[in-house]
């Protein structure tokens, strides 16, 4: 096996695929990256849950396959001069990496020891621009649960219905929903759940371009084709929260607020809150005005911001981080705040009553005399 390619391209490909290589595994090959050279160079990483494969141009003189330790390979390529790198692998699996005056010899692992990435029938597919998918993921992934006792909620629900794609994340304290029209759908309406770890990689790989991502659905896996890179992940199984029932439909208080003004006010009163000194942000929604306050052992803080509408002096406590993350994710400058009671969820949505985004934040019970 022998090939050469530009350092920058190799380094970028390693950066994308090494993220899913196992740091430590009972199967040593999984700690490496699979390099396959024929007409191009393909590099794959796989941890038996998520696999990423990408390809780059290369001048191949001897086709072949080899597995090289991901961490070591990344460190070597990163330190090499900016020039063409030549890889040569002998029958003893010893890889020689040469660039300029630098030369390394590292022992590889036979490609036969590397597990094959699962295959997915690409006929059942949906298509969506990269920039749209990237935004949808970034605006919902913060609400994915990290509680392994409910594995199904460690991923996001994808729902295909009437040509619309809805992505929903929940963690027991909040809900994030984004909905967009699809470019094209070659399959029937359905739902499936993608692990948050895989979506995090898809978000990083997807660009801000309008190039289309192809998402193919298999019986046990999901495949994302993003340009020359493929991400394949197992699907999560289980009963996801019925989000349609979870979102209140009978809230009688509807207010409009400038998102940045609201965020800035929450951010300011949060300055005296820390991991050790936790305290809810007390919000009193009045007529045209929102009063915010909090108190910890460090002291007290209060602020206010203008709102449109009458909140009937409803008093609600919120976890400051949950509220800030929901507001930050909302893709609009003005948002609608829908409220019911002091113990019912706050719903943040579009001012025009559209349903392209919905964020639900559960309140924190306030103790009498707090703040």
The DSSP string of 33-58 is EEEEESSSEEEEEE-SSEEEEEEE--
Per-residue pLDDT of the chain (371 residues; tens, 9 = 90+): 999 999 999 999 999 999 999 888 888 899 999 999 999 999 999 999 999 999 999 999 999 999 999 999 999 999 999 999 999 999 999 999 999 999 999 999 999 999 999 988 888 899 999 999 999 999 999 999 999 889 999 999 999 999 999 999 999 999 999 999 998 999 999 999 999 999 999 999 999 999 999 999 999 999 999 999 999 999 999 999 999 999 998 999 999 999 999 999 999 999 999 989 899 999 999 999 999 999 999 999 999 999 999 999 999 999 999 999 999 999 999 999 999 999 999 999 999 867 899 999 999 988 765 55
Three-state DSSP at 71 gives helix
Number of residues in the chain: 371
DSSP string, 72-139: HHHHHHHHS-SSEEEEEE-TT-EEEEEETTEEEEEE-B-GGGSPPPPP--TTSEEEEEHHHHHHHHHT
Backbone angles phi, psi at 133, to 5 degrees: -65, -40
β pairing state of 41-46 and 84-89: unpaired
How far is residue 335's CA from residue 222's CA, in Å, rounded to a whole number? 33
How far is residue 16's CA from residue 256's CA, in Å, rounded to a whole number? 41
Other C-beta atoms closer than 10 Å to the C-beta of 223 total 22
Give residues with Cβ within 8 angstroms of 245, minimum separation 6.
none
Note the pLDDT of residue 356. 93
What is the third-level CATH fold of 125-244? Answer: DNA Polymerase III; Chain A, domain 2 (3.10.150)
Does the pTM surpass 0.85? The reply is yes
Which architecture, in CATH terms, is 2-113?
Answer: Roll (3.10)
Note the pLDDT of residue 183. 83
How far is residue 200's CA from residue 203's CA, in Å, rounded to a whole number? 5
Residue ranges per structural domain of the chain: 2-113, 125-244, 249-361
| CATH dotted code for 249-361 | 3.10.150.10
How far is residue 351's CA from residue 172's CA, in Å, rounded to a whole number? 25
């Amino acid at each position: 096996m022998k090939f050469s390619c530009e350092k920058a391209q190799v380094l970028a490909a390693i950066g994308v695929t090494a993220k899913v290589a196992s740091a430590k595994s009972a199967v040593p090959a999984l700690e490496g990256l699979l390099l396959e050279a024929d007409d191009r160079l393909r590099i794959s990483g796989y941890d038996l849950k998520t696999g990423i494969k990408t390809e780059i141009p290369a001048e191949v003189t001897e086709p072949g396959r080899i597995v090289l330790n991901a961490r070591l390979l990344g460190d070597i390529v990163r330190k090499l001069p900016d020039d063409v790198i030549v890889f040569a692998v002998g029958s003893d699996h010893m890889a020689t990496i040469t660039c300029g005056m630098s030369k390394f010899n590292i022992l590889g692992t036979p490609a036969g020891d590397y597990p094959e990435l699962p295959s997915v029938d690409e006929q059942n597919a949906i298509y969506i621009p990269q920039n749209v998918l990237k935004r949808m993921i970034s605006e919902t992934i913060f609400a994915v649960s990290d509680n392994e006792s409910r594995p199904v909620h460690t991923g996001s629900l994808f729902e295909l219905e009437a040509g619309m794609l809805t992505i929903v994340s929940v963690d027991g304290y909040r809900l994030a929903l984004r909905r967009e029209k699809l470019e094209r759908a070659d399959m029937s309406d359905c739902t499936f759940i993608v692990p948050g770890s895989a979506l995090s990689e898809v978000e990083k790989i997807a660009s801000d371009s309008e190039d289309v991502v192809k998402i193919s659905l298999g019986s046990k896996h999901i495949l994302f084709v993003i340009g020359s890179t493929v991400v394949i992940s197992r699907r999560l199984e289980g009963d996801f929260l019925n989000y349609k029932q979870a979102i209140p439909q009978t809230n009688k208080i509807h207010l409009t607020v400038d998102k940045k003004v609201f965020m800035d006010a929450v951010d300011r009163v949060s300055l005296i809150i820390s991991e050790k000194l936790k305290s809810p942000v007390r919000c009193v929604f009045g007529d045209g005005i929102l009063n915010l306050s909090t108190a910890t052992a460090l002291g007290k803080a209060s602020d206010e911001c203008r709102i449109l509408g009458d909140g009937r002096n409803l008093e609600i406590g919120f976890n400051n981080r949950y509220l800030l993350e929901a507001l930050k994710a909302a893709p609009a400058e003005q948002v609608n705040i829908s409220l019911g009671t002091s113990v019912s969820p706050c719903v943040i949505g579009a001012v025009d009553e559209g349903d392209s985004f919905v964020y639900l934040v559960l309140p924190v019970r306030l103790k009498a005399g707090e703040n």
